[in-house]
Amino acid sequence: MRILAISGSLRTGSSNATLLHASAMLAPKGVEIVAYDGIGALPHFNPDLDEEAPPEIVRKLRAEVAAADALIISSPEYAHGVPGTLKNALDWLVGAVEINGKPVALVNASARATYAQAALQETLSVMGARVLARTISLDGRKNLDAQAMMDDPEISSALRAVIEDLR
Protein backbone atom coordinates (compact mmCIF):
# COMPACT_ATOMS: atom_id res chain seq x y z
CA MET A 1 0.00 0.00 0.00
CA ARG A 2 1.26 3.47 -0.90
CA ILE A 3 0.15 6.47 1.17
CA LEU A 4 0.94 10.01 0.03
CA ALA A 5 1.68 12.36 2.92
CA ILE A 6 1.01 16.08 2.50
CA SER A 7 1.88 18.71 5.09
CA GLY A 8 -0.09 21.94 5.05
CA SER A 9 2.86 23.76 6.60
CA LEU A 10 5.90 25.09 4.79
CA ARG A 11 7.65 25.92 8.06
CA THR A 12 10.96 24.22 8.74
CA GLY A 13 10.50 22.03 11.78
CA SER A 14 6.71 22.01 11.47
CA SER A 15 5.08 19.70 13.99
CA ASN A 16 2.58 18.67 11.32
CA ALA A 17 5.33 17.67 8.88
CA THR A 18 7.10 15.88 11.73
CA LEU A 19 3.92 13.90 12.47
CA LEU A 20 3.95 12.73 8.86
CA HIS A 21 7.62 11.81 9.05
CA ALA A 22 6.98 9.82 12.24
CA SER A 23 4.05 8.05 10.57
CA ALA A 24 6.36 7.01 7.71
CA MET A 25 8.81 5.60 10.24
CA LEU A 26 6.00 3.69 12.00
CA ALA A 27 4.50 2.25 8.81
CA PRO A 28 4.29 -1.53 8.98
CA LYS A 29 5.70 -3.84 6.35
CA GLY A 30 3.75 -3.52 3.14
CA VAL A 31 2.86 0.13 3.75
CA GLU A 32 4.96 2.88 2.19
CA ILE A 33 4.34 6.48 3.25
CA VAL A 34 5.93 9.00 0.89
CA ALA A 35 6.02 12.75 1.37
CA TYR A 36 4.84 15.17 -1.28
CA ASP A 37 7.17 18.15 -1.04
CA GLY A 38 6.04 20.32 -3.97
CA ILE A 39 3.17 22.12 -2.26
CA GLY A 40 5.00 25.44 -1.94
CA ALA A 41 6.05 25.47 -5.59
CA LEU A 42 2.58 25.02 -7.08
CA PRO A 43 1.37 28.04 -9.04
CA HIS A 44 -1.70 29.87 -7.82
CA PHE A 45 -4.74 27.97 -9.00
CA ASN A 46 -6.16 29.36 -12.22
CA PRO A 47 -8.69 27.33 -14.22
CA ASP A 48 -7.38 28.94 -17.41
CA LEU A 49 -4.05 27.17 -16.85
CA ASP A 50 -5.84 23.84 -16.54
CA GLU A 51 -7.73 23.80 -19.83
CA GLU A 52 -5.29 22.17 -22.27
CA ALA A 53 -2.18 21.08 -20.44
CA PRO A 54 -1.69 22.06 -16.80
CA PRO A 55 1.76 23.08 -15.58
CA GLU A 56 4.22 20.20 -15.16
CA ILE A 57 4.26 20.51 -11.36
CA VAL A 58 0.46 20.16 -11.31
CA ARG A 59 0.67 17.06 -13.50
CA LYS A 60 3.23 15.64 -11.06
CA LEU A 61 0.94 16.34 -8.08
CA ARG A 62 -1.94 14.61 -9.81
CA ALA A 63 0.28 11.66 -10.75
CA GLU A 64 1.42 11.31 -7.12
CA VAL A 65 -2.19 11.34 -5.92
CA ALA A 66 -3.19 8.86 -8.63
CA ALA A 67 -0.32 6.50 -7.67
CA ALA A 68 -1.34 6.53 -3.99
CA ASP A 69 -3.84 4.15 -2.47
CA ALA A 70 -4.60 6.72 0.23
CA LEU A 71 -3.50 10.13 1.50
CA ILE A 72 -2.64 11.49 4.90
CA ILE A 73 -2.76 15.26 5.32
CA SER A 74 -1.48 17.05 8.40
CA SER A 75 -2.15 20.75 8.61
CA PRO A 76 -1.97 23.63 11.01
CA GLU A 77 -4.71 26.21 11.32
CA TYR A 78 -4.03 29.83 10.38
CA ALA A 79 -6.56 32.47 11.47
CA HIS A 80 -9.29 29.82 11.78
CA GLY A 81 -8.58 28.53 8.29
CA VAL A 82 -6.65 26.17 6.05
CA PRO A 83 -3.17 27.39 5.06
CA GLY A 84 -3.29 28.95 1.60
CA THR A 85 -0.70 26.60 0.11
CA LEU A 86 -2.70 23.52 1.07
CA LYS A 87 -5.98 24.99 -0.17
CA ASN A 88 -4.22 25.89 -3.41
CA ALA A 89 -3.01 22.29 -3.85
CA LEU A 90 -6.53 20.99 -3.25
CA ASP A 91 -7.91 23.49 -5.75
CA TRP A 92 -5.60 21.98 -8.39
CA LEU A 93 -7.15 18.57 -7.62
CA VAL A 94 -10.81 19.68 -7.71
CA GLY A 95 -11.30 19.30 -11.46
CA ALA A 96 -9.27 16.10 -11.63
CA VAL A 97 -10.46 12.63 -10.68
CA GLU A 98 -7.40 11.29 -8.85
CA ILE A 99 -8.67 11.93 -5.32
CA ASN A 100 -12.26 10.80 -5.91
CA GLY A 101 -13.06 7.75 -3.77
CA LYS A 102 -9.66 7.65 -2.05
CA PRO A 103 -9.39 7.40 1.70
CA VAL A 104 -7.83 10.54 3.14
CA ALA A 105 -6.79 10.77 6.77
CA LEU A 106 -6.69 14.25 8.24
CA VAL A 107 -4.47 14.69 11.25
CA ASN A 108 -3.34 17.79 13.02
CA ALA A 109 -1.01 18.47 15.90
CA SER A 110 -3.28 20.76 17.89
CA ALA A 111 -6.61 20.13 19.53
CA ARG A 112 -7.37 23.81 18.90
CA ALA A 113 -7.21 23.46 15.09
CA THR A 114 -10.90 22.68 14.74
CA TYR A 115 -11.80 25.23 12.06
CA ALA A 116 -9.15 24.09 9.58
CA GLN A 117 -9.94 20.44 10.28
CA ALA A 118 -13.64 21.05 9.59
CA ALA A 119 -12.90 23.07 6.44
CA LEU A 120 -10.58 20.37 5.11
CA GLN A 121 -13.13 17.70 5.87
CA GLU A 122 -15.80 19.63 3.95
CA THR A 123 -13.53 20.41 0.98
CA LEU A 124 -12.29 16.84 0.64
CA SER A 125 -15.78 15.40 1.02
CA VAL A 126 -17.05 17.63 -1.79
CA MET A 127 -14.13 16.37 -3.89
CA GLY A 128 -15.32 12.79 -3.35
CA ALA A 129 -12.64 11.66 -0.89
CA ARG A 130 -13.48 9.30 1.95
CA VAL A 131 -12.35 11.39 4.91
CA LEU A 132 -11.10 10.10 8.25
CA ALA A 133 -10.30 12.87 10.75
CA ARG A 134 -8.16 12.58 13.86
CA THR A 135 -6.41 15.02 16.17
CA ILE A 136 -3.12 13.95 17.66
CA SER A 137 -2.62 16.61 20.26
CA LEU A 138 0.92 17.80 20.79
CA ASP A 139 -0.32 20.72 22.88
CA GLY A 140 2.11 21.26 25.72
CA ARG A 141 4.83 19.16 24.07
CA LYS A 142 7.24 21.33 22.14
CA ASN A 143 10.05 20.59 19.71
CA LEU A 144 9.40 16.88 19.37
CA ASP A 145 11.31 15.26 16.53
CA ALA A 146 10.02 12.20 14.67
CA GLN A 147 11.90 9.80 16.94
CA ALA A 148 10.42 11.40 20.07
CA MET A 149 6.95 11.09 18.51
CA MET A 150 7.62 7.42 17.77
CA ASP A 151 8.81 6.87 21.34
CA ASP A 152 5.76 8.57 22.85
CA PRO A 153 3.18 5.80 23.42
CA GLU A 154 0.17 8.09 22.96
CA ILE A 155 1.42 9.68 19.73
CA SER A 156 2.76 6.47 18.18
CA SER A 157 -0.43 4.60 19.03
CA ALA A 158 -2.55 7.33 17.41
CA LEU A 159 -0.38 7.35 14.28
CA ARG A 160 -0.54 3.57 13.98
CA ALA A 161 -4.33 3.79 14.29
CA VAL A 162 -4.44 6.33 11.43
CA ILE A 163 -2.38 4.01 9.22
CA GLU A 164 -4.62 1.06 10.08
CA ASP A 165 -7.72 3.15 9.33
CA LEU A 166 -6.30 3.86 5.87
CA ARG A 167 -5.54 0.16 5.26
Q: Where are the domains of the chain?
A: 2-166
Interatomic CA distance for residues 113 and 106, integer angstroms: 11
Contact 71, 104 (CB under 8 A): yes
Interatomic CA distance for residues 123 and 126, integer angstroms: 5
In this predicted model, what pLDDT tens digit does every residue of 136-152 receive, in sequence order?
888 777 789 999 999 99
Q: What is the pTM of this model?
A: 0.94
Q: Which class does domain 2-166 fall in?
A: alpha beta
In this predicted model, what pLDDT tens digit does every residue of 100-137 receive, in sequence order?
999 999 998 888 888 999 999 999 999 999 999 888 88
DSSP H helices in the chain:
15-26, 56-67, 84-94, 114-126, 146-151, 153-166
**How confident is the model over 71-99, as a mean pLDDT?**
93
